[in-house]
Structure 1
């Protein structure tokens, strides 16, 4: 495992959108810790934002890990604590609340992407965009089983039904992907308020030649110009230390992330 610390530039934005009257999203940017997170709360006014804030508040206590495995263990411990806290709030209020999340961990030249729900993580590498995460939704399950087509999925009446989220059950179910960081990599973490209005190629184009700050603002402006029907949160993480033109030798490793 590489011990070389790659320079990292990151930025995040969050907005209630054009329709909702409050913002149930939260995000966390902790470059010193090696942690970036977006969370999209569910449960209605004064409930969804409590769930997403619980995730962010617990993950903010991770501190400096001694190794990549230690960082992963700390992350899962804090997420489990958030899950238990949200479950307790649900029981006390007599309602079900929860939150999706998408997280990037980076340390010692390696990365891990972890998620639950339909908040997504993209990797832009060598001039191509890859969706690292895979939606935990009813429509994605139907696609995986071959019961509906990709075209049908776009207008499926229950396409936003979430199958995994933090706080909705005592047993926490998350997925992950991991790999090696390469200079020039750009990770895009976004809640579904982003992907409801902006296509993958548009995300790729927005981040290719812009700073994380400029790309975040450009993507947010695009969402709002198209109606902003949901809260939207975007976090960009750019790995520095090299030029994209020198990275094609690792193409096979990238293709393993394609879905």
Structure 2
């Protein structure tokens, strides 16, 4: 089982915000480990409702349907159901609640399927490299176009402009990835963390010491990097 052979820990810190609009989930279903983070959109009503709704509908979908012949497709189904649920809530209440959502589904062979919408991220760190999912954001489009580089994207004044989120449109495009987590550390994080810490610093923290201590260090580093947002992280180590 993934949890019995790996170490999983999480943290969600309110930071300097009036309330915490992030949500997270970790748990096992059969031979799978599920990890998910969501970040309710700041400046939108009921961001906390959107993030918790996304996590709830996604995990319900996974629990109902695992095992599944195509786990990545199942993640996409869960994301689209979550989007529909939040859109329905918005229509019923005259609101525009929205959220990011990033989830990882890991099997006992350490094969990890990742799905994401918005700018929460999944990172995978090894001894000599770090990889992360691509944001659905205006700043990511600038990076893709070569207008700015990844370091310049940190702290960019328009970093909060998303090109996709759950709950804001009837259709949503879900990015999926498949990664090997053997001898690797997985991080799921909201932008209150990774927007304020350089990538190499994240890698070093993830690979140093106990995952619980790494969570503490990541929160401290984000705050030291002037983060004023909610800060959420899940770390799963498979070494």
Per the normalisation by structure 2, the TM-score is 0.87
Helix, strand or coil: the match of 2:66? coil
2 CA distance for matches of 1:4 and 1:52?
Answer: 25
Helix, strand or coil: the match of 1:29? strand
Which sections of structure 1, spanning at least 5 residues, go unmatched? 241-259
Tell me the residue number matched to 2:19.
22
1:5-46 alpha-carbon deviations (Å, 9 max, x no partner): 98221111001112x100110001013442101100115476
Which sections of structure 2, spanning at least 5 residues, go unmatched? none
The Cα of 1:156 is off from its aligned counterpart by 4.4
1 CA distance for matches of 2:108 and 2:98?
Answer: 32
Q: Is the 8 A contact 1:8 1:31 kept in 2?
A: no
The Cα of 1:104 is off from its aligned counterpart by 1.1
Equivalence map 1:196-235=2 (5 Å): 196-235=195-234
Relative to structure 1, is the Cα distance of residues 163 and 23 closer, same or farther in structure 2, using a 3 angstrom cutoff?
A: same
Give every structure 1 segment of 4 or more consecutive aligned residues whose post-TM-superposition deviation is greater than 6 Å.
Answer: 3-6
Relative to structure 1, is the Cα distance of residues 155 and 235 closer, same or farther in structure 2, using a 3 angstrom cutoff?
A: closer
Larger radius of gyration: 1
Tell me the residue number matched to 2:117.
116
Tell me the residue number matched to 2:96.
96
The Cα of 1:74 is off from its aligned counterpart by 3.7
Q: Is the 8 A contact 1:68 1:108 kept in 2?
A: no
> What's the C-alpha RMSD, in Å, of the aligned pairs?
2.4
2 CA distance for matches of 1:68 and 1:75?
Answer: 12
Tell me the residue number matched to 2:67.
66
Alignment of 1:10 with 2:11, yes or no, is no
Tell me the residue number matched to 1:56.
55
Relative to structure 1, is the Cα distance of residues 201 and 178 closer, same or farther in structure 2, using a 3 angstrom cutoff?
A: same
Relative to structure 1, is the Cα distance of residues 201 and 21 closer, same or farther in structure 2, using a 3 angstrom cutoff?
A: same
2 CA distance for matches of 1:5 and 1:41?
Answer: 28
Equivalence map 1:34-49=2 (5 Å): 34-42=33-41, 44=43, 47-49=46-48
Q: Is the 8 A contact 1:136 1:163 kept in 2?
A: yes
Relative to structure 1, is the Cα distance of residues 68 and 108 closer, same or farther in structure 2, using a 3 angstrom cutoff?
A: farther
Helix, strand or coil: the match of 1:169? coil
2 CA distance for matches of 1:223 and 1:119?
Answer: 15
Helix, strand or coil: the match of 1:178? strand
